[in-house]
Amino acid sequence: MSDKELARIKASSGRRVIGTGAMLALGALMLYLAFATPPQNPVWLGFLIVCGLFALWTSQMLWQATSRILILTDEALIDSEGDVLARIDQIAKVDRGAFAMKPSNGFVIFLKEPMPKAWHPGLWWRLGKRVAVGGVTSGAETKPVADIITMKITKPTEE
C-alpha cells in the first residue's frame, strides 16, 4: 500500500465536545427522569433506563471514535488505527449531494463489493456496499477528500 498521503479528515475539538456533551446530557436526562419521577408503567421505566444507558454508552463511543483521523492515500481511505474504510479500486461512486443519505458535512461511498460492518459514531460507518464519512467533521475537510476520490475513480487508466 502506498504511504503517500493525499488528504486528512479529523473531527474538530469543538464539534467533538458538543456532540459528546449532547449525548451525555441526553443520557443523564433520561436517567434523571427515570429515577426522579418514575413513570407508573414499568415498561416505560425500563425504556427510559435502557435508552439513558445507551445514550451514555454512545457518548463514550463517540468520544473514542472521533479521536481517530481519516487518511486518504493513493490506494485507500484508512483511519489512523489502520482500519481500511475503502480501497480506491473497490469504489464504484461517491455521493455528496443534498439528497444523499449521508452524515452531516460528509459523503457516501458506494463500493463494488460489500465489506464487513463497522461503526465509528461521528466519523464513519460501513454497512454492506455503503461507507458514510462525516458527522462531527468539517465540510472543508470532507469535500476535498470526496472530490479527490471522485477524480481517482473517474480517471481513465494509464496504459
Does one domain contain both 78 and 147?
A: yes
The strand ranges marked E within the chain are: 5-10, 69-73, 76-79, 84-87, 91-95, 107-120, 124-133
Span 115-148, pLDDT tens digits: 999 999 999 999 999 999 998 998 888 899 999 9
Does one domain contain both 87 and 150?
A: yes
User: Is residue 2 one of the residues assigned to a domain?
Assistant: no
User: Is residue 138 one of the residues assigned to a domain?
Assistant: yes
Span 41-80, pLDDT tens digits: 999 999 999 999 999 999 999 999 999 999 999 899 999 9
Range of the domain at 149: 74-154
User: Is residue 96 one of the residues assigned to a domain?
Assistant: yes
pTM score, whole prediction: 0.82
User: Is residue 1 one of the residues assigned to a domain?
Assistant: no
User: Is residue 159 one of the residues assigned to a domain?
Assistant: no
Q: How many domains does the chain have?
A: 2
